[in-house]
Structure 1
Amino acid sequence: MSTSPAEGVRIVPADLSDPRVGALLDEHLAEMEPTAPPGSRHALTLDRFREPGVRLWVAELEGALVGSVALKELEAGHLELKTMRTSAAVRGRGVGRLLLDHALAEARAAGATRLSLETGVVPLFDAARALYLGAGFTETAPFGAYRPDRHSIFLTLEL
């Protein structure tokens, strides 16, 4: 568990039986729906977080869940960043950076040498892309099971 006293945000492993987690993920899926056609949306459902090799953390602030981040194992040493999200109420307050830093620390602790992600290209994703590029991610070709898609951009970071 990591804590940011300045923000009052705690990042903890997600309890998939907590209805707040389901609601946060449903909010994420609903926000992603209008951004691309179904075959170009790659957000995970609650059940997918029960699969081996997938870990989800949530950001808590004053009893509310205000963000999430996940890591999915692709192959030895290569992880994918998934479900990176902050709730609208806390956007612009550094919660996304806290979540990304947490995921990077967890990836390094797991022995990963590469962290990759897929994100959208519409303006909704501009701040996220800026965050990732500012953290050192660079554009890459599609990885894992992804294929080229005009609705997606692929980024990677060597750890």
Structure 2
Amino acid sequence: MQIRVDDLSGEKVRQLIMDHLKNMELHSPPESRHALSVDGLRGPKITFWSAWEEEELLGCGALKELDRNHGEIKSMKTATAHLRKGVSKTILQHIIMVAQDRGYRRLSLETGSMDAFMPARKLYESQGFQYCPPFSDYKKDPNSLFMTKEI
């Protein structure tokens, strides 16, 4: 698997992000959706990665700098054909390593509280993330759970 910084210009990557957003529509009310659009992922404080095997897109993930010590994981998504193959775990471990290299002391994330998000929560738990109160600009929301990890 090759993980590379991506400018979100490729059709496969844009489609994966659109699939991610559609999935959020199925499971989260509008006021509880915090997934970023393609344009949002191009923000100046965000690094976006895609994971590939040759020409096959496996998944993606992003890291948003909240401040010089704190990063937020965004847009973790595995392509449907590659679920349960360790793609998200590999991307997450890559993001954690980059965050450590940048000198961040903490990584945090927001995810859904519904059953559909259980696999994601289990992944984050397996990598040492713990539940926490809302961080940054997030507000308490029954449809959201917040997790953090000191690195």
TM-score when normalising by structure 1: 0.92
The equivalent residue for 1:88 is 80
Counterparts of residues 29-108 of structure 1 (less than 5 Å): 29-108=21-100
The equivalent residue for 1:149 is 141
Contact 2:16/2:77, CA 8 A, preserved across alignment: no
1:126 and 2:139 aligned: no
Between stretches 91-100 and 12-21, larger displacement belongs to 12-21
Task: State the distance in 1 between where 2:50 and 2:138 align.
Answer: 26
Q: CA RMSD in A?
A: 0.9
Cα deviation, residue 126, structure 1? 0.9
Between stretches 106-115 and 14-23, larger displacement belongs to 14-23
Task: State the distance in 2 between where 1:80 and 1:25 align.
Answer: 17
Cα deviation, residue 15, structure 1? 2.6
Task: State the distance in 2 between where 1:50 and 1:89 align.
Answer: 26
Displacement over 6 Å in runs of 4+ = none
Task: State the distance in 2 between where 1:53 and 1:123 align.
Answer: 31
Cα deviation, residue 111, structure 1? 0.8
1:18 and 2:15 aligned: no
Task: State the distance in 1 between where 2:24 and 2:145 align.
Answer: 15
Number of paired residues?
151
The equivalent residue for 2:128 is 136
- Segments of 5+ residues of structure 2 without an aligned counterpart are none
SS at match of 1:29: helix
SS at match of 2:4: strand
TM-score when normalising by structure 2: 0.96
